[in-house]
Amino acid sequence: MRYTLAELTERAQHLLKALTERYIRDGQPVGSRVLARDVGLNLSPATIRNVIADLEELGLVRSPHTSAGRVPTVSGYRVFVDTLLSVKPLELSLVGTMKESLGSGVDTKELVQKASSLLSDVTRLAGIVTLPRRNHAALERVEFLPLSEKKVLAVLVLNNKEVRNSILHTARSYSSAELQQFSNFLNAQFAGKELSEVREKLLSELRETRETLDRMMATALEMADQVLGTAEQGSDYVLAGQTNLMGVTEFCDVGRLRQLFEAFNEKKELLGLLDQCVENEGVQIFIGDESGYQMLDECSLVTAPYSVEGKVIGVLGVIGPTRMAYERVIPIVDATARILRAALNSQD
Amino acid sequence: MRYTLAELTERAQHLLKALTERYIRDGQPVGSRVLARDVGLNLSPATIRNVIADLEELGLVRSPHTSAGRVPTVSGYRVFVDTLLSVKPLELSLVGTMKESLGSGVDTKELVQKASSLLSDVTRLAGIVTLPRRNHAALERVEFLPLSEKKVLAVLVLNNKEVRNSILHTARSYSSAELQQFSNFLNAQFAGKELSEVREKLLSELRETRETLDRMMATALEMADQVLGTAEQGSDYVLAGQTNLMGVTEFCDVGRLRQLFEAFNEKKELLGLLDQCVENEGVQIFIGDESGYQMLDECSLVTAPYSVEGKVIGVLGVIGPTRMAYERVIPIVDATARILRAALNSQD
DNA sequence: CTTTAGCAGTCTCGCTCGGCGAGTGCTAAC
DNA sequence: GTTAGCACTCGCCGAGCGAGACTGCTAAAG
């Protein structure tokens, strides 16, 4: 008898579920005997074996070697998390504790770090949170301060929350009064607009102004352009609890572990992966090498986007072995995304 | 025959040196046979054995088990690095490359990160650099900007180089003009003074002013106090190249490795250790558990302080297995300290 | 047609055992 | 003081073996 994925017998589903859960719990190949006792159905090991053989043919489970039990394959996990998993809601008390531990962060970066630690603490795996990309942040105001000969400090205030500053090296010195004029001019023009918009407008104005030869305006615009150029914060993430992964039996091999940690340092690849999650709403899961990055072999990544004012500005998640307690990790990631969003929104 | 540490035979010294160097190279206990061939002196293994036996009695070497060669003990390493080691000067070309790779960092933090990476890249071990503690930094100026209702952005410029900002939550709103007044007042009073001095003076003025009931001054001073309180950056360090340690054979045990990495995350203890190096000039070395922190068992720490304008403001160094190539690491750490100092000083 | 018992076969794991090689410490001779 | 010789001690490694765990197949039972 032959099933397609869509029409797995109820029994087969049941067994795949039991097998996966058991394997996640114990980490050891599970055989027909234990499965027979574990699952509610009153079946003999022999019967179980028949069904399991079918599952193996479908590529959902495999045995590490003859005469060991079976373990789920990547496809097996996929089916498990997509259709078989019953996610238990989080205990309210835990959610409370989580909220608290994130609670009072004022600084955005601090919040992100706390969220990452939170994820790793609660799941006992590695937590990862991207820094918010506020492309849509509104420019609140710009301020220029003279520092010294030919050096000007530019202060950018975004959304009343975030502050970025950068030091500009200018061709000549500017007086306080001059800089004040620049600030006023720019604030009048751009305050309240989105950064991307500001940038665009800036360039067009710059072109226009060059023709009219208004020195002051041109200089101001040039300065602003410089600031925006440098202030574009390279997207990045904060990782926490890497050491938790060292306790995981799957990574007892140092070479394996090293590969993983080097992937963490690379950042680029992992960021690419995380970026894919920005679009999809809700929790998303990458299992094993599904991601295409073989450094994440034997790893799973559970992610959720987080947003502020309705716009997704980042992704957070958990990295752990494929054999992780999904039914627990998923609601935790989900909850953390909500908590972080709340914290960011209530930031005053 | 019995030596005290001070009066090791020339021959004994020679042998200890050869043994240590050999062990550092190969990582395996070295026996009398290889030692006899290795060292210039024309001696038979039997003779070597006699001398080595004396070294063992002094606690400078030990054998992991009967009938394996000898390895240096912590004391052995100590004697080795203190009196036997001949440090070869660094190739100029390497110094050049190092300078370059650090070269153009404008931001202090960026420089520190680059220095850390540099150390780890060149030594193939873990690099560590503390963030500069600029207790003696001069306060260049203070600026307050109104953000919104009851929120004020304070910008601190130090030494014409570093900028710190913090957001203050105030009891009532302040107008631009008011804040401008505060800034002017504070700048007139404190600009150019050292931070610690500013703080001190601030407190006394605050007390005095309360009596004269000058509202404006009092508020300004209070604000300044708040800023200084928050701006005190918690001392911290930047680590790089931890993954290099995973290649080291000494740390092939995951448990061991985990302990080490958790020590890195703790930060406090390691910082305490690094602080000890601030006082001593030049390169300093902690071998194995000499530091008192047993998480650094089997590790050595090679450090050097770095300074700006004659004042030591931080420490940098390398963490690796006790069995590291000291004669190479030491000059690298030394050079990096000088290069970082130069880079920080030339920061304009 | 489904389910089950029984059985032979296969593979891993952990254990012991013995040989090998390396290196020491001692003693006696140079 | 130096050296050769020798007995002895270990750690390492591979072979061999038994136990245990499952499977897949076949044939009988429901």
pLDDT: which is higher, A327 or B278: A327
Average pLDDT of adjacent 10-residue blocks, chain A of 348 residues: 59 93 94 88 89 93 91 95 92 94 79 96 97 80 81 80 78 83 84 82 79 70 74 78 91 87 91 88 91 84 92 94 96 96 82
The protein residues having a beta carbon less than 7 Å from any atom of strand C are A 1, 42-44, 46-47, 50, 65-68; B 29-34, 45-46, 49, 52-53, 56, 63, 66-70
| Contact yes or no for A147 and B153 at CB 8 A | no
| Contact yes or no for B258 and A246 at CB 8 A | yes
Give yes or no: residues B197 and B295 share one domain: no
Q: Strand D closer than 7 Å to the CB of A132? A: no
Give yes or no: residues A338 and A240 share one domain: yes
Q: Give yes or no for residue B255 having a pLDDT over 70.
A: yes
Q: Give yes or no for residue B192 having a pLDDT over 90.
A: no
In the three-class reduction of DSSP (H, G, I as helix; E, B as strand; rest coil), residue A293 is classed as coil
At B320 the pLDDT is: 96
Distance CA A291, CA A293 (A): 5
- Nearest-CA residue of chain A relative to B117? A265
The residue from A231, A260, A283 where one domain ends is A231
At A239 the pLDDT is: 96
Q: Which residue has the tokens 């495999």?
A: A62
At A92 the pLDDT is: 94
Distance CA A53, CA A43 (A): 15
Please tell me if residue B247 touches chain A, with a CB cutoff of 8 Å. yes
How confident is residue B2, by pLDDT bands cut at 50, 70 and 90? Answer: very low
Tell me how crowded residue A13 is: count the other CB atoms within 10 A of its CB.
Answer: 16
Helices (H), chain A: 10-26, 32-38, 45-57, 74-79, 92-102, 108-123, 176-190, 195-212, 215-231, 242-245, 254-266, 268-279, 326-345
CATH number at residue A320: 3.30.450.40
At A230 the pLDDT is: 65
Length of chain A: 348
Give yes or no: residues B196 and B260 share one domain: no
CATH number at residue B221: 3.30.390
How many angstroms separate the Cα of B213 from the Cα of each of A232, B28, B210? 46, 76, 5
- Ranking A262-276, B160-174, B239-253, B257-271 by mean pLDDT, the lowest is B160-174
Interface test with chain B among A166, A227, A258, by most B beta carbons within 10 Å: A258
At B342 the pLDDT is: 92
User: How many domains does chain A contain in total?
Assistant: 3
pLDDT: which is higher, B299 or B221: B299
At B123 the pLDDT is: 97
Q: Quick one: B75 exposed, middle or buried, by C-beta within 10 A (0-12, 13-18, 19+)? A: middle
Out of A160, A165, A254, the one facing B254 most closely (by C-beta) is A254
Give yes or no: residues A58 and A117 share one domain: no
The residue from B203, B231, B259 where one domain ends is B231
At A231 the pLDDT is: 58
At B315 the pLDDT is: 95
Distance CA B186, CA B141 (A): 8
Give yes or no: residues B114 and B210 share one domain: no
Q: Quick one: B30 exposed, middle or buried, by C-beta within 10 A (0-12, 13-18, 19+)? A: buried
Interface test with chain B among A159, A180, A242, A267, by most B beta carbons within 10 Å: A242
Give yes or no: residues B117 and B239 share one domain: yes
Give yes or no: residues B145 and B125 share one domain: no
Give yes or no: residues B60 and B200 share one domain: no
Give yes or no: residues A99 and A148 share one domain: no
- Return the bridge partners of A311, or none: A308
Q: Which two tokens stand for residue B261?
A: 């990495």
Nearest to A90 by CA among A331, A323, A340: A331
Per-residue exposure over B219-240, b if at least 16 CB sit within 10 Å of its own CB, e if not: bbbbbbbbbbebeeeeeebbbb
CATH number at residue A27: 1.10.10.10
**CB-contacted nucleotides of strand D (7 Å):** 1-5, 8-11, 20-26
* Mean pLDDT, rounded, for B58-76: 92
Nearest to A348 by CA among B183, B170, B225: B170
Q: Give yes or no for residue B96 having a pLDDT over 90.
A: yes
Q: Quick one: A230 exposed, middle or buried, by C-beta within 10 A (0-12, 13-18, 19+)? A: middle
Average pLDDT value over all residues in chain B: 86
In terms of residue numbers, what domain contains B337?
92-133+235-345
Q: Which residue is nearest to nucleotide D4 (CA to C1')?
A: B46
At A2 the pLDDT is: 37
Interface test with chain B among A243, A249, A260, A267, by most B beta carbons within 10 Å: A243
- Ranking A323-327, B89-93, B189-193 by mean pLDDT, the lowest is B189-193
* Mean pLDDT, rounded, for B325-339: 96
Give yes or no: residues B9 and B52 share one domain: yes
At A1 the pLDDT is: 34
The residue from B231, B246, B277 where one domain ends is B231
Measuring from the CA of residue A33 to each C1' atom, give the nucleotide at the shortest distance: D22
Q: Number of A to B CB contacts under 8 A, please give it.
A: 65
Q: Quick one: B40 exposed, middle or buried, by C-beta within 10 A (0-12, 13-18, 19+)? A: exposed
How many angstroms separate the Cα of B197 from the Cα of each of B135, B136, B137, B190, B207? 10, 9, 10, 9, 16
Q: Quick one: A71 exposed, middle or buried, by C-beta within 10 A (0-12, 13-18, 19+)? A: buried
At B3 the pLDDT is: 42
CB under 8 Å to B147, separation ≥6 — which residues? A140, A157, A160, B153, B167
Please tell me if residue A140 touches chain B, with a CB cutoff of 8 Å. yes
Give yes or no: residues B239 and B338 share one domain: yes
First-to-last alpha carbon distance for chain A, in angstroms, is: 63
Distance A251 CA to C13 C1' (A): 20
Give yes or no: residues B129 and B246 share one domain: yes
How many angstroms separate the Cα of A69 from the Cα of each of A20, A27, A62? 12, 11, 8
